[in-house]
Structure 1
Amino acid sequence: MSTPRFLSLPPGVRRTDINTSRGTFAVLEALPGSGVCERGPALLVPGFTGSKEDFIAVLQTLAGGGRRVVALDMRGQHETPGPDDPAAYTCAELGADIAAVMEHFDDQVHLVGHSFGGLVTREAVMTDPALPASYTLMSSGPAAIGGSREVEARVLLAALPKVGLEHLWATRIEPEVITKGVAPEIVSFLHRRMFMNSPAGLMAMAREVLSSPDRVDDLAKVTEDADLPVLVLYGENDDGWEPSEQAAMAERLNARKVVIPGAAHSPAVEAPETTASALTSFWNDAERA
């Protein structure tokens, strides 16, 4: 679970909604502090148990490069409502949502999928590779998640139906967050966010992140045929997918690779300036190409 660096919105960032053919999505939108948007827009998709707030620390910097930047809550996450039907939360269904959001923009979008969001966004890319201007897999992998993040997902999947979310929060999640020294206001936000998530969505997304097949070869063919620039970006200490696994994925995708020093699974939180700089450089190069 990532913890936003701060919760107050910086200048130029606002909370709004995007209406699509597949529903309404809660977003944070960042615009340049002055002037017009001179470069292509960007869409940032969070991971499992995450939300649009996970990108707060990079939004202003990214928008300062002259572009509109949008971070969203997927269906069932935080402020975007979702149904009680588990079938609504497969990677394919969530990917179709992302494609619908990309269609909202007037221009091709620089698409970023963080963690589980990478598994979701690759579905959108493989369905219609003409929608994005570039594609970034941030702290994501080729198939099901591993490491300590796998353990967390399995615990949630096993315990949630038996003890309920309140018990799981009080006995496991909150103590772990407090032990990490997270500020009280962030803990309060994480509590609020967790209980605004769809329980059906949490369960279904956990199953998806634990069982996702390797589709890298399929993705590589699609991005090569579409001449779509791809970036694989991750922290040097990632505890979700092994850094070596992500490096191998970058090779299979013939993608640019950026390793963020000192970061773990959430580079946009743990090293926001370095992460924003890497994204901006990649996006600018993609536009020049």
Structure 2
Amino acid sequence: MTAFTTEFVATPDGALECLCVNRQADPARGAFVLLHGIQGTASAWSEVAPRLGGERTVLMPNMRGRGRSPAPEDPGAYTLEHFAADLHAVIAAVPGPVTLVGWSMGVLVALTLLARHGAHGLDGLVLASGTARPAGEAVWFHAMSAADIAEEARDRATRLGLVACAAPVAVAGAWASVRMADLRPALAGIRLPTLVLHGEQDDQCPLAHGRLIAAAIPDAALEIWPDTGHNPMARDPQRFAQAVLRLYGATRPDIVSAIH
């Protein structure tokens, strides 16, 4: 069983907890940074991270409101801009380049980072089960109050196979920001090797959203998984890890053999 270590990254609002794999890897090779979804935690990646090989460090931030990361009581402290600022601090703490992997809300956080802070420090992008504009189609919660959202969240966590969940205030605050987001204008300016991965049966974020992202980002690849819903990592963690490694290998021919 893979041993996860823990470290903390300083942000303007406190120390962000990150779970780590392969901390002994050469720092110059950079890292994979894996972003969980709106009610998930770093544990969403527990089956994927050990399968990413020993070439690079793997960092899984617990975004604010999860684990031992800062957990403000104000729902307004959980906007996409707050999450992106925290992520910016994590990327800045990595000595080498970062391949950023976002799932569900993590896609919106990644796109907000690129829109607000640019692509400095990044060498690739994987956007899984995501949307650039939730609007009325990617509806994760229908309730408005934190208490009612918490009730919905319990059912949703069961459906998605989440083993740990965010604090209710973090989910409620994030949803208030997410449901108003429109990151479509940022897509055309992305100049990173990009893989868009989406389940054909995704009922939380319809496939059309993934197609839109892939079509708008120059030269992005689209990988559609049949018979897969919103959580491809739970469906097939080995296949997901291989998809990430293929993207990394495309920019690093010297390690292509490691993904076979």
Output aligned runs, 1:80-119, within 5 Å. 80-119=69-108
Equivalent in the alignment of 1:260: 225
Which residue in the other structure is 1:236 paired with? 200
Query: Given the superposition, is the C-alpha separation of residues 220 and 276 from structure 1 closer, same or farther in structure 2, using an over 3 Å criterion?
Result: same
Q: Is the 8 A contact 2:5 2:21 kept in 1?
A: no
Matched residue, 2:141: 153
- Give the % identical residues: 24
Q: How many residues align?
A: 251
Q: Which runs of 5+ in 1 are unaligned?
A: 1-9
- In 2, the alpha carbon distance for the partners of 1:274 and 1:262 equals 14
TM-superposed CA distance for 1:26, in Å, is 1.9
Q: Post-superposition shift, 1:211?
A: 1.7
1:217 counterpart letter in structure 2: P
1:283 aligns with 2:251: no
1:51 equivalent to 2:36? Answer no
User: Residue 14 of structure 1 aligns to which amino acid in structure 2?
Assistant: F
Deviation, structure 1 residue 77: 2.1
CA contact 1:41–1:68 (8 Å) conserved in 2 = yes
Corresponding residue number in structure 1 for 2:20: 29
| CA deviations over 1:89-137 (Å, ceiling 9, x no partner) | 1111210110111011001110111111111111212212112111121
Q: Any unmatched runs of 5+ in structure 2?
A: 255-260
Normalising by structure 2, we get a TM-score of: 0.85
The higher radius of gyration belongs to 1
Contact conserved, 2:111 with 2:186, CA < 8 A, in 1?
no
Instruction: Give the aligned residue type for 1:232.
Output: V
Amino acid at match of 2:237: P
- 1:68/1:244 CA distance change after superposition, 3 Å: same
Q: State the alpha-carbon separation in 1 of the partners of residues 214 and 184 from structure 2.
A: 9
Please give the per-residue CA displacement for 1:243-288, whole angstroms capped at 9, x wherever unaligned.
1231122011121111233321111111111111111000111334
What is the TM-score normalised by the length of structure 1?
0.77
Structure with higher helix content: 1
Distance change in 2, residues 1:130/1:283 (3 Å)? same
Residue pair 2:102, 2:128 contacting (<8 A) in 1 also: yes
Task: From the superposition, tell whether residues 69 and 252 of structure 1 become closer, same or farther in structure 2 (CA, over 3 Å).
Answer: same
Q: Tell me how far apart the structure 2 counterparts of residues 210 and 82 of structure 1 sit (CA, whole Å).
A: 21
Q: 1:48 to 1:35 in 2, by over 3 A?
A: closer
How far apart, in 1, do the equivalents of 2:241 and 2:226 lie?
A: 13
Post-superposition offset of 1:83: 1.1
With 78-87 and 106-115 compared, the bigger mean Cα shift is at 78-87
